[in-house]
């Protein structure tokens, strides 16, 4: 899952980014409201974590403008303002949840998981395709009764495939969600990672789940 963090305090932004990435999320950070709105308007994020007090455009104005554009991405607002009036104003503007600074990263991650379950296509803590299961809490993958060991990036890639079953995913789309554009598109890193993942997922199974769509990209399908 891909998350946008809009936070002008770079230390706080780095703290949030590190915590989210350790929990296997793909994260991009913007340091002002204008840049945050520009990125959020692209519609490629599953969740936005948004500070209220920011330069160029404050979080409430940014959120109001996003909702006016019919962008319904779930938003978790974070702020040092903790009064009831401030929370009500944020929620009335279109926020889905509200977290007051300072906060523990464990609480932030719990709020993130809750919002993603609420706004996502499924309401469970696991994804299943054929006999492949991915536990979103323990981050464990199993094929039948076999436990599959995954690296952090392989887990993120597998989750993205399983959330987009039967959809053709181009290399560009995969790079945006998994690598945040931050790699040389001239390399074959995507193909290398997918081959590693395919060997782990499909290597010993008669039914293959990860398929190559020649000239386009890849697809996960159960049959």
pLDDT tens digit sequence for 38-63:
999 886 788 999 998 889 999 899 99
The pLDDT assigned to 122 comes to: 45
The pLDDT assigned to 14 comes to: 92
Query: Helices 33-40 and 59-68, interaxial angle, to 10°?
Result: 30
Question: Which of 6-10, 30-34, 90-94, 132-136 shows the lowest per-residue confidence on average (mean pLDDT)?
Answer: 90-94
Given the DSSP bridges, would you call strands 47-51 and 75-79 parallel, antiparallel or unpaired?
Answer: parallel
Is residue 105 packed enough to be buried (19+ CB in 10 Å), middle (13-18) or exposed (0-12)?
middle
Residue 84 above 90 pLDDT? no
More reliable by pLDDT, 74 or 1: 74
Q: How confident is the model at residue 161 (pLDDT cuts 50, 70, 90)?
A: very high
Q: CA 96: distance to chain centroid?
A: 16
Question: What average pLDDT does this structure show over 186-210?
Answer: 87
Question: Which of 50-64, 180-194, 205-219 shows the lowest per-residue confidence on average (mean pLDDT)?
Answer: 180-194
CA-CA distances (angstroms) from residue 123 to 119, 136, 151, 159?
8, 11, 25, 15
Residue 128 above 80 pLDDT? yes
Residue 183 above 60 pLDDT? no
Cα gap 152→210, rounded to integer Å: 18
Question: What average pLDDT does this structure show over 70-86?
Answer: 80
Length in residues, the chain:
223
Tokens of residue 204, six digits: 């010993």
Residue 76 above 50 pLDDT? yes
Q: Beta partners for 129?
A: 132
Residue 1 above 50 pLDDT? yes
Q: How many helices (H) and strands (E) does the chain have?
A: 8, 12
Q: Which fold has domain 2-119?
A: Rossmann fold (3.40.50)
> Do you find a cis peptide bond into 102, omega within 30 degrees of 0?
yes
Q: What is the pTM of this model?
A: 0.60
- CATH, domain 126-220, list 3.40.50.2300, 1.10.1040.50, 1.10.10.10, 1.20.120.420: 1.10.10.10
The pLDDT assigned to 136 comes to: 79
What's the whole-number average pLDDT of the chain?
85
CA-CA distances (angstroms) from residue 106 to 113, 154, 163, 205?
11, 23, 24, 37
**Domain segments of the chain: what residues?**
2-119, 126-220
């Amino acid at each position: 899952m891909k998350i946008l963090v809009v936070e002008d305090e770079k230390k706080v932004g780095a703290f949030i980014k590190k915590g989210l990435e350790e929990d296997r999320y793909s994260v991009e950070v913007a340091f002002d409201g204008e840049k945050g709105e520009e990125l959020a308007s692209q519609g490629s994020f599953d969740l936005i974590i948004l500070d209220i007090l920011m330069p160029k455009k404050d979080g409430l104005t940014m959120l109001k403008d996003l909702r006016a554009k019919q962008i319904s991405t779930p938003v978790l607002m974070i702020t040092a303002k903790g009064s009831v009036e401030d929370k009500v104003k944020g929620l009335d503007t279109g926020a889905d949840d509200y977290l007051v600074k300072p906060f523990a990263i464990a609480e932030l991650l719990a709020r993130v998981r809750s919002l993603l379950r609420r706004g996502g296509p499924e309401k469970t803590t696991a994804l299943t395709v054929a006999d492949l299961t991915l536990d979103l809490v323990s981050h464990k993958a199993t094929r039948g009764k076999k436990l599959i060991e995954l690296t952090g990036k392989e887990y993120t890639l597998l989750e993205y495939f399983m959330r987009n079953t039967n959809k053709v995913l181009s290399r560009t789309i995969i790079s945006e969600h998994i690598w945040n554009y931050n790699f040389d598109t001239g390399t074959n890193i995507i193909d290398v990672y997918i081959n590693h993942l395919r060997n782990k997922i499909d290597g010993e199974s008669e039914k293959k789940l990860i398929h190559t769509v020649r000239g386009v990209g890849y697809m996960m399908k159960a049959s």
